[in-house]
Amino acid sequence: MSELHARTMSSVVPPDGRGRFTLSPRKAGRVALALAGGAALAALLPAAPAQAMASGGITNGGRWCAAGQQVTGGGAAVVGEGTGDFNTRIEGSEARAHFDYTTGTVAGLWATTIRNTDGVAHQIGLFSVCVNSIAGYQVASKDVTVAAGGFLRDIATCPVGTVALGGGATDSPYSSNQPAAADRIVQESAPGATGGQSLWLTALRNNDTVAHAIRLFAVCSNAPAGYQVVHKDVTVAAGGFVRDTARCPVGSVVLSGGAAVVGSGSADFKTRIQESAPGTADSQSVWMTALRNTDSVAHTTSLYAVCAGPLAGYQVVRSDV
């Protein structure tokens, strides 16, 4: 199956000195939902078949959006098991597009690589957030090389006048035989802005014995009506874990989300994103992130949701493979 990738090279813009990436609009709607227990989490994720992943297993994939739709974000999460530390690990993600020569249409997909490092099997949902065409839609990217055992904390920036809808990082070029051997840890993945440009931050550890070419990317477009980034700050103790959500304002929808350490400059904070996925709670759109702090000190971490007003064709789809 052929793929079409819209890519433009982005310039490197350093993060601001405070370690928090300035949001657009600034500190908009700092609201979030604290999950009370398994019942709340079960309501978080859309009902659909899930993928069973054995202990030690890894998968890369997602579900295609409808023909003609674009993808803004996506991710993976354990489903149908309440809430807890499921000891999974996000290793990469990518916005893809497929051109159907029969119909002459393009469909988007959010492909996520997730590994089950737990001692038991888990049910995994792979998500894509889909919308009809958005003005100015493009994927801005930056290619870097991460040495064996190396670490990267860097950004892909959107063109001036556009905003980040989502983002992430994956091997470049993508190959279906890479994920099993990749052995990466996505430590942070979050939206922000610096120097007047919208961006997506990724922190990543390469645990492999060889270097990997990594593509950092940001999904960008003209700002849709009601666009804003909301976040919730949590303190994660040394060795601690959080599984929580950032909630979009009533009447808006979630396009993507993630988490990043804030207020500590730029460094290897030794966090690990275990799950990252869209959903709903109390009829509001939310983004759920599960994160482990493997560092010897506590970190203040922001959980993010990128939100907008209702968009034509908006839907969250989940893979059934």
Does residue 33 surpass a pLDDT of 60? no
Dihedral in degrees, nearest 10, Cα atoms 307, 312, 316, 321: -140
**Residue 321 or residue 307, greater confidence:** 307
Q: How many CA atoms lie within 13 A of 301 on its CB side?
A: 33
Average per-residue pLDDT in the chain? Answer: 84
- In this prediction, residue 321 carries a pLDDT of 35
Pick 129 or 19 by higher pLDDT: 129
198-241 pLDDT tens trace: 999 999 999 999 999 999 999 999 999 999 999 999 999 999 99
Lowest mean pLDDT among 51-60, 273-282, 283-292: 51-60
pLDDT digits (tens, 9 = 90+) for 171-189: 876 444 444 556 899 999 9
Nearest Cα neighbor of 226 from 301, 316, 310, 161 is 310
Pairing of strands 8-9, 138-146: parallel
CB of 187 closer than 8 Å to CB of 248: no
Q: pTM here?
A: 0.84
pLDDT of residue 7: 27
